[in-house]
Amino acid sequence: MIHRSLSSRLVSIGAYLAFLLAAGLLLSSCRNSNNGATPIASTAATVNLSGAGATFPYPLYSKWFDTYNQAHSDIRINYQSIGSGGGIKQLMAGTVDFGASDAPLSNDEVKQMPAKVVHLPMVAGAVALAYNLPGVENDLHLTPEVIAGMFLGTITKWNDQQITALNPKIKLPATNVTIAHRSDGSGTSYIFTNYLAAISSEWKTKVGAGKSVNWPVGIGGKGNEGVAGVLKQTPGSIGYVELAYATQNKLTYASIRNKAGQFVAPSIPSTTAAAASAVEPMKKDVRVSIVNSAGKDAYPIAGFTYILLYQDQKDATKGQALATFLTWAIHEGQQYAEPLMYAPLPSAVVTLDEQALKTITLNGKPIP
Instruction: Evaluate if residue 15 carries a pLDDT over 80.
Output: no
Pairing between strand 237-242 and 117-131?
antiparallel
Domain with CATH 3.40.190.10 in the chain: 47-125+303-366, 126-277+286-301
pLDDT in tens, 144-182: 999 999 999 999 999 999 999 999 999 999 999 999 999
Q: At what angle do helices 84-93 and 187-199 cross, to 10 degrees?
A: 120
Other CB atoms closer than 10 Å to residue 297's CB: what's the count? 16
- In sequence order, the 6+-apart residues with CB closer than 8 A to the CB of 9 are none
Diameter of the chain measured on Cα atoms: 108
> HSE (CB half, 13 Å, CA atoms) of 113?
23
Query: How confident is the model over 268-274, as a mean pLDDT?
Result: 95
185 neighbors 211 (Cβ within 8 angstroms): yes
Concatenated DSSP letters for 24-63? Answer: HHHHHHHHHT-TTSSPPPP-SPPEEEEEEE-STTHHHHHH
3-state helix, strand, coil in the chain (%, to 5): 45, 20, 35
Q: Which CATH class is domain 47-125+303-366?
A: alpha beta
Instruction: Evaluate if residue 288 carries a pLDDT over 50.
Output: yes
The pLDDT of residue 274 is 94
Query: How confident is the model over 108-127, as a mean pLDDT?
Result: 97
Place 109 in a pLDDT band, splitting at 50, 70 and 90: very high
pLDDT in tens, 233-267: 999 999 999 998 899 889 999 999 999 999 999 99
The pLDDT of residue 44 is 55
Q: Is the pTM of this model over 0.85?
A: no
Instruction: Evaluate if residue 43 carries a pLDDT over 80.
Output: no
- Arithmetic mean of pLDDT over the chain: 88
DSSP, collapsed to helix, strand or coil, labels residue 315 as: coil
The pLDDT of residue 41 is 36
pLDDT in tens, 62-93: 999 999 999 999 999 999 999 999 999 999 99
113 neighbors 65 (Cβ within 8 angstroms): no
Least Cα distance to 154 among 113, 207, 112, 194 occurs for 207
Query: How confident is the model over 300-327, as a mean pLDDT?
Result: 97
Concatenated DSSP letters for 113-149? Answer: SSS-EEEEEEEEEEEEEEE--TT--TT-EE-HHHHHH
The pLDDT of residue 185 is 86
Please name the helix (run of DSSP H) or strand (run of DSSP E) that holds residue 252, with its range, or none. strand 252-253
Categorise residue 223: left if φ over 0, alpha if ψ from -120 to 50, beta otherwise: left
- In sequence order, the 6+-apart residues with CB closer than 8 A to the CB of 214 are 207
Place 45 in a pLDDT band, splitting at 50, 70 and 90: confident
Query: How confident is the model over 189-217, as a mean pLDDT?
Result: 96
Categorise residue 220: left if φ over 0, alpha if ψ from -120 to 50, beta otherwise: beta
Categorise residue 292: left if φ over 0, alpha if ψ from -120 to 50, beta otherwise: left
Q: What is the DSSP letter of 343?
A: B
Question: Which of 34-48, 160-174, 287-301 bottoms out in mean pLDDT, i.e. has the lowest?
Answer: 34-48
Identity of the amino acid at 9: R
187 neighbors 212 (Cβ within 8 angstroms): no
227 neighbors 180 (Cβ within 8 angstroms): yes
The pLDDT of residue 19 is 38
CATH number for 126-277+286-301 (one of 3.40.190.10, 3.40.350.10, 3.30.710.10, 3.40.50.300): it is 3.40.190.10
Instruction: Evaluate if residue 37 carries a pLDDT over 80.
Output: no
Q: What is the DSSP letter of 336?
A: G
Percent of the chain with pLDDT over 90: 80
Pairing between strand 117-131 and 141-142?
unpaired
Question: Which of 9-13, 34-38, 69-73, 218-222 bottoms out in mean pLDDT, i.e. has the lowest?
Answer: 34-38
